[in-house]
A and B are shown apart, each in its own frame.
Chain A
Amino acid sequence: DAGITQSPRYKITETGRQVTLMCHQTWSHSYMFWYRQDLGHGLRLIYYSAAADITDKGEVPDGYVVSRSKTENFPLTLESATRSQTSVYFCASNLAGGPNEQFFGPGTRLTVL
């Protein structure tokens, strides 16, 4: 199916565990993004990637790791999950450069106990 998908959609884990959230897009967009959405906050950028093998930090990168070996995939790893990382995570993508709209995935709701 065309578009942007995320997996899993829901995840419950425990403090200290490693968790990887997956993101896949079929548009061959150059840019991909990871955001978290929490009550009382707008979407906040965690990491972004301008192309395969090019990643950079966003506004709230601490505790997260990303990689992008293929254009279509952009996994987000929480190396040692903490309760403060309980959130809804959205992956997004868009065309290179300019004020282009971003296309968002359906989100992953992560709970860290």
Chain B
Amino acid sequence: EDQVTQSPEALRLQEGESSSLNCSYTVSGLRGLFWYRQDPGKGPEFLFTLYSAGEEKEKERLKATLTKKESFLHITAPKPEDSATYLCAVQALNSGGYQKVTFGIGTKLQVIP
């Protein structure tokens, strides 16, 4: 069974204090790993897709990296507007016609001015 574990569950940072969020996963074969941002009362918003170990993607203050067992979302010099819950999800190679995507519970990030 595919599993996604995110840590920490919650993270409080001062503005400008860089940190990383972790996503550990177990899948039979990785087809893709996704990062989403979710603001309170809204649907998840897509950030990145990573396909293979060693891959990295960046967007503004966010950088996502991938290894064979985990992914990190690095946040550099965060601002209060980066406060949100960050979700990690994986899609396995053996999904076939069923696009099963397994989501983690998320990390709730709060950035304090």
Q: Which of B10-18, B37-45, B58-66, B69-77 lines the interface with chain A?
A: B37-45
The reply to whether A101 and B43 contact each other, CB–CB distance below 8 Å, is no
Q: How far is the CA of A88 from the CA of B51 in the complex (A)?
A: 29
Identify B101's interface contact among A56, A102, A103, A105, CB under 8 A. Answer: A102
The minimal Cβ–Cβ distance linking A89 to chain B, given in whole angstroms, is 10
Number of contact residues on A: which range applies? 20 to 34
Flag A84-99 by CB within 8 Å of B: 1 or 0 each.
0000001010100111
Q: How far is the CA of A64 from the CA of B96 in the complex (A)?
A: 24
Chain A residues with CB under 8 Å of B102's CB are: 42
**Is B78 in the interface zone, CB < 8 Å from A?**
no
The reply to whether B49 and A43 contact each other, CB–CB distance below 8 Å, is no
Identify B99's interface contact among A31, A40, A59, CB under 8 A. Answer: A31
Number of contact residues on B: which range applies? 20 to 34
Q: Binding site of A, secondary structure by majority: helix, strand, loop or mixed?
A: loop
The reply to whether B98 and A56 contact each other, CB–CB distance below 8 Å, is yes
The reply to whether B87 and A42 contact each other, CB–CB distance below 8 Å, is yes
**Is B100 in the interface zone, CB < 8 Å from A?**
yes
Q: How far is the CA of A40 from the CA of B100 in the complex (A)?
A: 20
Chain B residues with CB under 8 Å of A56's CB are: 98
The reply to whether B42 and A42 contact each other, CB–CB distance below 8 Å, is no
The reply to whether A42 and B97 contact each other, CB–CB distance below 8 Å, is no
Q: How far is the CA of A45 from the CA of B31 in the complex (A)?
A: 18
Question: Which of A56, A94, A99, A105 gathers the greatest number of chain B CB atoms within 10 Å?
Answer: A99
- B interface residues, Cβ below 8 angstroms from A: 4, 31-32, 34, 36, 41-46, 49, 51, 87, 89, 91, 97-106
With A42-B106, A59-B100, A107-B41 known, 4 other A-B pairs at CB within 8 A are A31-B99, A99-B34, A100-B49, A101-B34
Interface pairs A-B: 10 shortest CB-CB: A99-B32, A104-B43, A42-B103, A101-B46, A43-B103, A99-B31, A99-B91, A104-B44, A42-B105, A90-B43
